[in-house]
Amino acid sequence: MLRILKCLTPLAGALLLVLPLTPAQAQDAVAGKRAFGACMSCHSVKPGATGIGPSLAGIVGKKAGTNDPKFSYSAAMKGAPVWSEAQLDAFLADPKGTVPGNTMAMAPTRDAKKRADIIAYLKAN
């Protein structure tokens, strides 16, 4: 039995190297906090901390344009769908294309891992 386990150990290790990461593993909230640093000049993840942009506290799962009652959202943002993880990913990748007419000045986040990390950070806050 011990001989069989010794043979299987390298195989199990090799399988772990070739298996793709699941979405949950691919997201890193700590890295997302660092990546969110670029967003912090306008947004906060503290509830009610409205700045140039709305607070993004608890944004995942909320209807777009409704999260921060103190913020004056554009008509385009009010007409956007719920901020699911997929919708946030699409928006971060192409803000103007995903919500045409929105007034947020943001460059697209082209790196998929960085977007996943930012979303993980937003989910944690």
Predicted confidence (pLDDT) per residue in 44-93, tens digit: 999 999 999 999 999 999 999 999 999 999 999 999 999 999 999 999 99
Residue 26 is predicted with a pLDDT of 53
* Cα–chain center distance at 52: 20
Residue 13 is assigned to a structural domain of this protein: no
Does any domain span residue 5? no
Count: domains in the chain: 1
| pLDDT value for 69 | 94
In a domain, 25, yes or no: yes
* Domain contains 85: yes
pLDDT of residue 24: 44
Q: Are 87 and 98 in contact (CB under 8 A)?
A: yes
Residue 17's pLDDT is 38
Is the pLDDT reported for residue 41 higher than 70? yes
In angstroms, the CA 81 to CA 96 distance is 14
Query: Is 14 part of a structural domain of the chain?
Result: no
- Give a yes or no: residue 3 inside a domain: no
Domain of 89, in residue numbers? 21-123
User: Which CATH number do you get for residue 32?
Assistant: 1.10.760.10
